[in-house]
Structure 1
């Protein structure tokens, strides 16, 4: 097959069907009719000799052949888009660029206050939106350019991505000031006898904490499970519960909530916090600028 045989618009339809999975949604996004999208899909099926998408109760599901095409087509379209819209320089002081960054709630607590302060000084027109890395298909969103950067512990983003380490961090035990453990010290015995709040943090690397503690054979009394970290400081402030949290989160909650930390008596591997970006944005000036700001502000 020669490239001259393929209409680039067909690949745009293919890419949007991968993302949205519904003909009606693609038609609305591209500003055309549903019959036009169906016609484009039929043309692409004939060209490639595959059904590409199958209708199911959950929408249009890609075939294995379509899934194999997803990454290279997404990358190629992104490269073409960036080339056609490329700027030789990025001027942060006058830019009104809107960036989207994927991070967890811990990331928002730790990174956003300092990042927004820095941007107000050097790029007052730039805006930031955040998305949770586990509530979107992060790989697809970054391949398509809808998410510019990801910050955090994200070991699943490998092929097609660049990353730069910001820092390593350990896990610590967190509890209120005046807690009996503040006087007695944190031992395996006291850790096992204390009542815990466990943070599920689905879709993030932090889920390994419970697995490591369980494999170590250390019993603990989990009194409360919560899906994220946002409320943990409030909970610990007024109870005798303890939590095992990343040190970056602990640093941001000690003073506002009157908390203390102690080394965790269970050996939990350190985690590496990275800033990650897709290869399609590697040379894009605005993306280069933002990740450099993040690195200067938070690397250690």
Structure 2
């Protein structure tokens, strides 16, 4: 027998008869006439090939087949009811799930420590998983529900996405403490003549710095090029190279790697860092709660009043 052969209302009637054992009571509860209940029961008997209920003292008595059927039908109906009427109010303390966030290697350094610290206190049952937008098709992964949120400079996420601006990422110059530039003015000439560590992080948006410099003919002495930011602290700590990096990353690296950061001798365009999510999870309470945590931890205080808007 296929599920399409059974009317859901007949299963509801079956459950009520199991509970009440009286046709008149079920008819009143389901706003039906007693003949209507009897006709519906006749259809269900025909579909299942069993009498299901027989007359007894004061009402009806279930057959052995009906007794075996009662629990799975009740569970199935309860599952459907719960799915169609979800409990409102997300409880982070009691939640147990894994949430996936798309971010760059910079994001892992800048966002994860504070985020995990907050979750350990407010939502200890929530685990995090991160993916790189350069390693997956982030748009498809979020549309299909495999990635819950994304943080960064992600202009490719447009139609079907919401975004909330967190802050404008500024760039600074980073080098080891004791570097010859530490006690000297960081002029444009000094910056150009120093040996540079350059990060070519394809697909992250931070390549806009190199494009900006090229368009304006600003040349520098590039000694080393690497494809990610993870090695920056280790390299700068032991060399006289300098690097132009996002300010939030520099602040995280300065203390553990004994580095100094200085304002650049030119004004580079800031990179707008957004929190993004797909329209399919706009009303999801767990996602909404996590978005609130990210905004509370990382959004500029003067931008807290900005509402989320569709990405474009």
TM-score by length of structure 1 reads 0.71
Q: Does 1:97 align with 2:128?
A: no
Q: How do 1:204-283 residues align onto structure 2 when only pairs under 5 Å count? A: 204-283=204-283
Are the counterparts in 2 of residues 162 and 278 from structure 1 also a CA contact under 8 Å? Answer: yes
Q: How do 1:39-50 residues align onto structure 2 when only pairs under 5 Å count? A: none
The equivalent of 1:152 in structure 2 is 152
Offset at residue 193 of structure 1 (A): 0.5
Secondary structure of the residue that 1:95 maps to in structure 2?
Answer: coil
- Structure 2 distance, partners of 1:185, 1:259, is 17
The equivalent of 1:79 in structure 2 is none
Q: Does 1:293 align with 2:293?
A: yes
Are the counterparts in 2 of residues 198 and 222 from structure 1 also a CA contact under 8 Å? Answer: yes
Offset at residue 192 of structure 1 (A): 0.9
Task: Return closer, same or farther for 1:84/1:192 CA change in 2, 3 Å cut-off.
Answer: farther
Structure 1 residue runs of 5 or longer lacking an equivalent are: 1-82
CA RMSD of aligned residues (A): 1.3
Offset at residue 209 of structure 1 (A): 1.2
Give runs of ≥4 in structure 1 deviating > 3 Å: 83-87
Offset at residue 84 of structure 1 (A): 6.1
Kindly provide the CA deviation profile for residues 254-285 of structure 1, in whole angstroms up to 9, marking residues without a partner as x: 11111111111233101111110000100011
Task: Return closer, same or farther for 1:84/1:174 CA change in 2, 3 Å cut-off.
Answer: farther
Q: How do 1:96-245 residues align onto structure 2 when only pairs under 5 Å count? A: 96-245=96-245
Task: Return closer, same or farther for 1:278/1:87 CA change in 2, 3 Å cut-off.
Answer: farther
Kindly provide the CA deviation profile for residues 44-76 of structure 1, in whole angstroms up to 9, marking residues without a partner as x: xxxxxxxxxxxxxxxxxxxxxxxxxxxxxxxxx
Which structure would you say has the larger Rg? 2
Task: Return closer, same or farther for 1:86/1:232 CA change in 2, 3 Å cut-off.
Answer: farther
Are the counterparts in 2 of residues 197 and 224 from structure 1 also a CA contact under 8 Å? Answer: yes
Offset at residue 88 of structure 1 (A): 2.5
Kindly provide the CA deviation profile for residues 150-195 of structure 1, in whole angstroms up to 9, marking residues without a partner as x: 0111122111110111111211111011111111121110111000
Secondary structure of the residue that 1:257 maps to in structure 2?
Answer: coil
Task: Return closer, same or farther for 1:201/1:151 CA change in 2, 3 Å cut-off.
Answer: same
Offset at residue 87 of structure 1 (A): 4.7
- Structure 2 distance, partners of 1:197, 1:266, is 18
Secondary structure of the residue that 1:294 maps to in structure 2?
Answer: helix
Q: How do 1:61-80 residues align onto structure 2 when only pairs under 5 Å count? A: none
Task: Return closer, same or farther for 1:86/1:212 CA change in 2, 3 Å cut-off.
Answer: farther
Offset at residue 252 of structure 1 (A): 0.1
- Structure 2 distance, partners of 1:264, 1:230, is 21
Are the counterparts in 2 of residues 87 and 285 from structure 1 also a CA contact under 8 Å? Answer: no
Task: Return closer, same or farther for 1:84/1:140 CA change in 2, 3 Å cut-off.
Answer: farther
Q: How do 1:18-57 residues align onto structure 2 when only pairs under 5 Å count? A: none
- Structure 2 distance, partners of 1:138, 1:294, is 19
